[in-house]
Each structure stands twice: as structure tokens, then as C-alpha cells.
Structure 1
Amino acid sequence: MGRNDRDGIRRRASPAGPGEVDLGRPNPARMYDYYLGGVHNFAVDREAADKVLAILPETRTFALQNRAFLRRVVRCLVTELGIRQFLDLGSGIPTVGSVHEIAQAGHAECRVVYVDHEPVAVAHSRKLLEGNDNAAVIHADVRDSDLVLSHPDTLRLLDFTRPVAVLMLQVLPFVPDSDDPAGIVAAYRSACVPDSCLALAHSLTPEYWPGSVGEAIELYRGSTHPLHLRTPEQVEALFDGYELVEPGVVFTAAWRPDRPVSQEEAIGSRAVAGLGRLPVPAGPAW
């Protein structure tokens, strides 16, 4: 059976209603899955992704480095900072090495709530999480913080009187300035207590990409979620209210790498990432 045949089966099996899979336009989450070598994507996604890769072959490296940052930062949160609760916003389609697998390998009691509005991502996440009582996935838009924070699965798994790690890895590039990405970060920050953390990764503006990056950006304009790239300074500003953990906001590949990386390899990330921690308020001076 070919891929197009499988698409036909998926198309007929798609849920009806507001959560129906949009097969008329490529979806960035499914394109990202394709970049990573996943199979949870459709012909429309593969066609668009192949066009991007023809223009910018570095896109696949970018996706792999972002995934590697996820592994490193979750390990850091569990083993170094003692975090046991995770809220993964814009979690995407699950692959090997998802947050709950990394976190629970470090400490079995870690709890994870995934949030995504892409029906394919949610469906496959639910299948992956069957039998795991310490992880759940919510079908919601990360911009709707009230819904996410009040959802029964969030309330069941996460105790916001204790530190929580909020993960926003490559989700804000799909949030336009008009939707106030800083305000979205602030809404989740305000729900968290001191020692809670924010891990964030974000694609950079065209001057950090080689070749005809404008053509690739234009391809995303035809997707369900166009790209909104930002400078390193704009990304660092999203950590307002947090204390940055060393080494700060740096190229993704250079954030606590497992091995030495060259400057060229670091720049090849085409994105920056960082980890922030909410400070404990200073006590009164006597």
C-alpha cells in the first residue's frame, strides 16, 4: 500500500466537526514530523516540506537540533533543578524521546501535560500515552491559557502550588505579534510559583538563514500557520520575569551540548533557545 493509499484511509477516518483534520493545506506540525522522519503526515504536508527542503536543506538539521535541545533541557530540569511537573505547549506529533519518556526515565513520578490543537498530534499522543497515568494530552490552542490551565487533566496532573516547567519549543514562531506572544508567556508564568521554569526555543529572522529563505517563508504562508520569525533579542525578551540559567539564550546547538560544537555548527541551528527560572522573592531586609 502506498502513502497516498494510506492518506485515503486516514482521510475517511478523520473525525468530523471542529477538530477535523485540514487536508487542504499543509500543517507545520505534520511537516515537522516529516522533517524528523516520522510517518504521521499527509501528502499535502510532504509536498510542502519537500519544497522547503529543496530551498533550505538545513531545515531538517534545524528540526533535529531542536529535538536534541528538548532532550537536554528536560534532563536538566529533572536531574539538576528537581522539576517533576511539565506543561508542554504546542507539543506536536510524538516521536521517540518525548517529554514524558525523558522525564520519567530520570524520575518515575514526573507528570506531563501535553497541549496541541492539531488533531493528528492529539490522536497519536493519546495512543502513545495509553496506560500512563502520569501523562495526558489536551486538545487546545496554547493561546487559550484559561482553557489549558483549568482543563480537568491539567488540574489532575499538575499542582501549581509546586514548581512546574512550561515548555514552549518552536510554538511561538506560529503566533503573530498581533496575538501578543509575550502576553501568552506571561499568562502561564503568572500561574506558576517560584522555582518554576520556562524552556523556550524560537526560529530566527532571515539574516540567520542562508540562501532563499524568503521563498521558504512564503511556502509557510500557505500553511495552516504562517511563520513569524524573531531576533535573538526579541526571543530573550520573552523571558521577562525569569532568571536565565547558564548559558542564557544561545543558538540551540550551543545550549549545554553533549559534545563540543563549533561556531559554524551552532549558527547552523537557525534558532535560539534558553531556560529561565522564576526567582524566589527576596525577604524583607531587617
Structure 2
Amino acid sequence: MRRNPISDVIDTETPSVARMYDWLLGGVDNYASDRAACDDLLAIAPSSKALALNNRAFLRRVVRILAQEEGIRQFIDHGSGLPTQDNVHEVAQRVDDSSKIVYVDNDPLVLAHGRSRLDQNDRVTVLDMDMRDTDAIFDAAHAAGFQQDKPTAALFVSVAHCLKDDDVQPMLDRVKAKLAPGSFLVICQLVSDRADVRNRVTALMSKVTHDNWGRVREKKDVRGYFDGLTILTPGLCDVTTWRPDSQVVPRSGEDWVEWGGVGRLGNA
């Protein structure tokens, strides 16, 4: 596994989106501040645990399909979060063990755990970078053996809502400009048809992360992320329904969903 320096100490008093997500998935790499923030979140959106589990299943599913059916062997996972079972590299490398994966995150706990668990895999790179640092990310990916002229899957799974409006589309446009024809973008984020849920969750997350967050958006906002891409069947949807292959974890409400899909850039 390739590595670069961890730049920050772990702040256990301020909730981390990655650690909150870990708790919602049933993980143990979280602190009291993260669990308290999740309790507040569940009071607003009771389906959040099921949503997180279904979203993780979507990530595994889409990586497997892109590897098996589209022949993708290069994956960049932006805002990768804490390692769980069946990470991107495990799914992709079961299809072809030569697959290369770059994980990008700037949470010190994510980086420390990722490196401790991936130390023996020389086809995996863990980057201590902000997901918006597109040039640096792609430079590091090429240094790790990614081929510029080969299709790559750029993953933005459940991370766009962590960014401000002014950051999301420019970041995606930069990534599209870097990718070879035939590459894929996988994009989904939290959306709600209910203004009260959008406003209350956005206010909560902005508060607990010291404004290091974006907002819950609407479906129409996500559609713009796919400009210039050919959207794969079944289109943009609640990711629970994107080519399901296993039983879905039932939700306790319809307060919000992960909405998005998969887009292809140009021709293969």
C-alpha cells in the first residue's frame, strides 16, 4: 500500500461525518460526540441507519458491476470513509486482483485505520487529501500506476452533501476533464422532498461539524451533476433501487433518500 503523511491529530470532541457514518453502519470506530450527533440525526430522520446500510450495499454493487460488466480496473473513491467489510478494493480485486484503487479522505482516523488495514496491498493508495484537490489526486493516482488513457471510475458516494454549493459542480467538472473517454462517475447524495428535513438536518450537521458541511438537497440539484454524461440504466433514482441484487434493509420512514446513479463519459 502506498501512503502519504497524516497532517492532523484526531479531534474526538467534534463529530466527524465519517465516524457518524461508521456508527450508523454498526461500526465501532467512533466516539461519544459522534454517537450523540447520530442520536440527534435519528430524531429528525429515523430512517438514517437503514439508509446508510442500503447506501453501502449500493457502493459494493456498483463497483462489482463496473468491474465485471464494464471492465474498469481503476477506481478513485472520494471521501472514502472508515474501512468496513467489502471495501472498494476488495470488491474490485475479487473480479481482477490487478485492479488499482485510490482512497481519498482527510479525516485522520480514517487515514490511520485505512493504512493499518491495507498495509499489505500494493495496489491500494490512501491519500490524505481534500476531495476537491483534483489535480493533486490525479497526480498521485498516476504516480501509483493509474494509466491516463484508461477508463477510471470516480466515486462520489454519499459525499456531495458534505460540500457547499459553490464547490460541488466545479469539482465534478474538473474530474470529468481529467478522465479518459469511457470512464464513469458514480454520484449520489442525501436528498429530501421535505423542506423541514432538509433544513433541520442541514442546520444540525453544520452545527456539529463547525460548518464543515454542505446541505441536504433536492433531486433536481443532483440531476445537474450528470451534465455531459450518459446515464446508465435505470437512470437517477433512490440508490436502493439501482440494480438491486439482495434484500433491501427496510426503512422506518420516507424522510430522505440517497439519490443518484452512474454516468459514462464519452465513448469507451
1:83 aligns with 2:72: yes
1:70-129 deviation per Cα after TM superposition (whole angstroms, max 9, x unaligned): 011001100111100000000011100100001111111111000001111111111111
Aligned-partner Cα distance in 1 for 2:253–2:33: 31
Amino acid at match of 2:49: R
Q: Does 1:141 align with 2:130?
A: yes
**Gap change, CA 1:264 and 1:247, over 3 Å in 2:** farther
Which stretch of the first structure deviates more once superposed, 271-280 or 114-123? 271-280
Q: Which residue of 1 aligns with 2:232?
A: 245
Residue in structure 2 matched with residue 216 of structure 1 by the alignment? 201
Q: Distance in 2 between matches of 1:55 and 1:46?
A: 15
Q: Report the AA paired with residue 29 of structure 1.
A: A
Query: What's the offset of the Cα at 1:178?
Result: 2.5
CA–CA separation in structure 1 for the residues paired with 2:267 and 2:28: 44
How many residues align? The count is: 261
Q: Which one of 145, 148, 168 corresponds to residue 160 of structure 1?
A: 148
| Structure 2 residue runs without a partner (length 5+) | 1-5
Question: Residue type matched to 1:257 in 2?
Answer: P
| 8 A Cα contact 1:205 1:230, kept in partner | yes
1:276–1:119 Cα change, 3 Å: same
- Are residues 1:107 and 2:96 paired? yes
What residue number does 1:172 align with?
Answer: 160
2: CA distance, partners of 1:75 / 1:93: 20
CA distance in 2, matches of 1:117, 1:160: 24
TM-score normalised according to structure 1 size: 0.84
Query: Matches of 1:124 and 1:246 in 2, distance apart?
Result: 35
Partner in structure 1 of residue 34 of structure 2: 45
For residues 240 and 265 of structure 1, do their structure 2 counterparts lie closer, same or farther at Cα, with a shift above 3 Å needed? farther
CA distance in 2, matches of 1:81, 1:268: 34
Judge conservation of contact 1:176–1:228 (CA < 8 Å) in 2: yes
Is the partner of 1:157 in helix, strand or coil?
A: coil
Checking the alignment, whether the CA contact within 8 Å between 2:10 and 2:108 is kept in structure 1 is: yes
Distance 2:144 2:79 in 1: 20
Q: Give the structure-2-normalised TM-score.
A: 0.89
CA contact (8 A) 1:52 1:219 kept: yes
How far is 1:51 from its partner? 2.0
Matching residue within 250, 258, 263 for 1:271: 258
Kindly indicate whether the alpha-carbon contact (under 8 Å) linking 2:191 and 2:198 is maintained by their aligned counterparts in 1.
no
CA distance in 2, matches of 1:96, 1:264: 22
Structure 1 residues 91 and 264 mapped into 2: Cα distance closer, same or farther (>3 Å)? closer
Among candidates 118, 122, 144, match of residue 129 of structure 1:
118
- Structure 2 Cα separation of the partners of residues 35 and 170 of structure 1: 13
- Tell me whether 1:194 sits opposite 2:181 in the alignment: yes
Q: Which of 48, 67, 75 is the matching residue for 1:59?
A: 48
Cα deviation digits, residues 49-73 of structure 1 (max 9, x gap)? 1221233220101101110100110
State the alpha-carbon separation in 1 of the partners of residues 153 and 105 from structure 2.
17
Q: Check whether the contact 1:169–1:202 (CA below 8 A) recurs between aligned residues.
A: yes
Give 1:241 shift: 1.7
Which structure has more relative contact order (CA 8 Å, sep 6+)? It is 2
Q: C-alpha deviations, 1:149-181, integer Å up to 9, x for none?
A: 222x542231121110000001110111132x1
Write the distance in 2 (CA, Å) between the matches of 1:113 and 1:252.
Answer: 23
Q: Is the 8 A contact 2:151 2:184 kept in 1?
A: yes
Separation in 2, partners of 1:40, 1:174? 20
Match of 1:92 in 2: 81
Identity, % of aligned positions:
36
Please give the root-mean-square deviation of Cα atoms over the aligned residues, in Å.
2.5
